[in-house]
Structure 1
């Protein structure tokens, strides 16, 4: 089995990758070549798309991004915000073919890392596939970082055009907030133009300032909406009270899996059930588009209010991991330090921050060297 390389500038080989991706309904939107186009303004990454096949048919693909820096180059499977991805496979592969595809793709990824004098290679796994043993066997990572996402089944929540959370005390809380949104007269629609987008983005910036966090860049969000929206793979639900936009949520998706990418509401309308209303409308739109899994992405901790908010919609945890093969001694990264690393490689995962602890860190977070 061979692993080919397709660069973004090579239309013929990119088409080969896209054809494979389109044949994989469980693929994540972050694994598409369009994701590279959407995140391109943040740069400067060179997108590399690998495919593995037997000559007659391609079986699996892997997106990679090469980030160049004087301190050492870096390859990762997904840069910037929304880090999911890794290898995707054509449905129905037998175990031997799947194993051979992982061996081919990961072997090529390591070879590219050596060719480009990289300090590290990180592949991020798909939380809905659980291919951990294949990554460990064929990447042989020295470091692992485990995270989790929360996700719920769309069909289990949407029935006869209505959103019905699972029966529990929390279900009554959801219904109470949705009734409040109705009482406030909130209405929704999908963003139609730049003016509506800008009105929502101002809310996004305001809310992040209130939370003490840096807003996501406008060009990233607008590019995701424009590029993926043109392929019917992204939409921005807006909520308004009267003529005033009071919140919005950007959703992205492929065919089976959809993500809640970023949700922002005007805090002046928190009591109007705005966030609950946005989730309800997003679920309804996902259902209309045939999306089966709504991925909330990760939370800062299981004790956070954000985690609890997602849980009350019937969300369950799905683990995923950052598998890192390093090409320098561990002292190289410790001498660089986490602060300087963040400055050299903004928006990119390099190694687990646990590596910078005085000891080897929490063994649950990464494999000891």
Structure 2
């Protein structure tokens, strides 16, 4: 590698350069760049107090060549730095393959240095890109790391027909009078969140706050990176779906369905519409995100949509001995660092 290299924190003044870099990289490496890496998503995380932006950029000869999107959080329990927090989106060093050899170690060194300057540093967590891009370089840069293997499910938007049973579900929704609207007015947002909140309570899963929905919905317009779909039946909302658009990859972000309306298959109709819109706009992948296990209904539901697995790794570089994390425990870590993967719970 030749040329002058500068590694420094990114700020809002870099947003234009950052967006252009992500757009270009995402066109060439579609699964590497997700909506989560863009300024609009960072601003939402700030608005709901997830933490402080801590993204780093690496420039060579005056050109931005690599980015480590990240947030940091300091609490009484200590300080952590994560790429990326809040429901575990993939982060890690984003760069072209030819830049990884120098960019990955440079950015991870800078992240460790940033963490070590914070009060009582606990851990640096890198939730790597899909297909473990730059995995070898990340491993080399994070000695004595903890590695947690994960997988996501991804559908290639190549026009492969849905299964016969899925096509039947979509036709059934239409024949029973379910319609799709995309007007994200305040009433629709409130009803959408009510359904989503109920679904989360029923399934016992963490809830994204209404403020996150509101902040993201501001970008739900024809030129924006957010799409909202609402399924209506007999003048009431029976399902909703929010997806986030990267340059080529769509993230399945916030679905919800009225329990007593599931037989109408409104969710299938919304996904089919969202996929069609994504393909029309040049998107080539649909990222369903991770599932709790391969045995559950969530995993099987995603597989119905022609999904295949894509692996990734969460790598943690701890700055304190294991006993410190055991002392904090699940509850202590969760309360101090909500939305952050700090330490594997199965090691506590």
Q: Distance in 1 between matches of 2:318 and 2:214?
A: 34
Instruction: Identify the residue that residue 99 of structure 1 maps to in structure 2.
Output: 101
Q: Distance in 2 between matches of 1:141 and 1:266?
A: 47
Give, in angstroms, the shift of residue 254 of structure 1.
1.0
Q: Deviations over 1:267-312 (max 9, x none)?
A: 1111111121121111011112211100001111111111111111
Paired residues in the alignment total 338
Instruction: Identify the residue that residue 296 of structure 2 maps to in structure 1.
Output: 304
> Is 1:38 paired with 2:40?
no
Unaligned runs of 5+ in 1: 158-163, 166-170, 357-369
Moved more, 134-143 or 249-258: 134-143
Q: TM-score w.r.t. structure 1 length?
A: 0.87
Instruction: Identify the residue that residue 113 of structure 2 maps to in structure 1.
Output: 111
Moved more, 79-88 or 345-354: 79-88
- CA gap of 1:326–1:228, structure 2 versus 1, over 3 A, is farther
Give, in angstroms, the shift of residue 140 of structure 1.
2.5
Q: Distance in 2 between matches of 1:140 and 1:228?
A: 42
Q: Distance in 2 between matches of 1:329 and 1:209?
A: 36
Unaligned runs of 5+ in 2: none
Moved more, 274-283 or 223-232: 223-232
Instruction: Identify the residue that residue 156 of structure 1 maps to in structure 2.
Output: 159
**Contact 2:88/2:341 (CA < 8 Å) preserved in 1?**
no
Give, in angstroms, the shift of residue 50 of structure 1.
1.4
Q: TM-score w.r.t. structure 2 length?
A: 0.92
Moved more, 283-292 or 214-223: 214-223
Instruction: Identify the residue that residue 84 of structure 1 maps to in structure 2.
Output: 90
* Structural mapping, 1:215-226, within 5 Å: 215-226=207-218
Helix, strand or coil at the partner of 1:123: strand
Instruction: Give 1:132's match in structure 2, choosing from 130, 135, 139.
Output: 135
**Contact 1:178/1:273 (CA < 8 Å) preserved in 2?**
yes
Q: Distance in 1 between matches of 2:252 and 2:131?
A: 16
Instruction: Identify the residue that residue 168 of structure 1 maps to in structure 2.
Output: none
Moved more, 199-208 or 16-25: 16-25
**Contact 2:178/2:232 (CA < 8 Å) preserved in 1?**
yes
Instruction: Identify the residue that residue 190 of structure 2 maps to in structure 1.
Output: 198
- CA gap of 1:49–1:213, structure 2 versus 1, over 3 A, is closer
Instruction: Identify the residue that residue 174 of structure 2 maps to in structure 1.
Output: 182
Give, in angstroms, the shift of residue 227 of structure 1.
4.0
Q: Deviations over 1:311-334 (max 9, x none)?
A: 111100011111111100111111
Give, in angstroms, the shift of residue 67 of structure 1.
0.3
Give, in angstroms, the shift of residue 56 of structure 1.
3.0
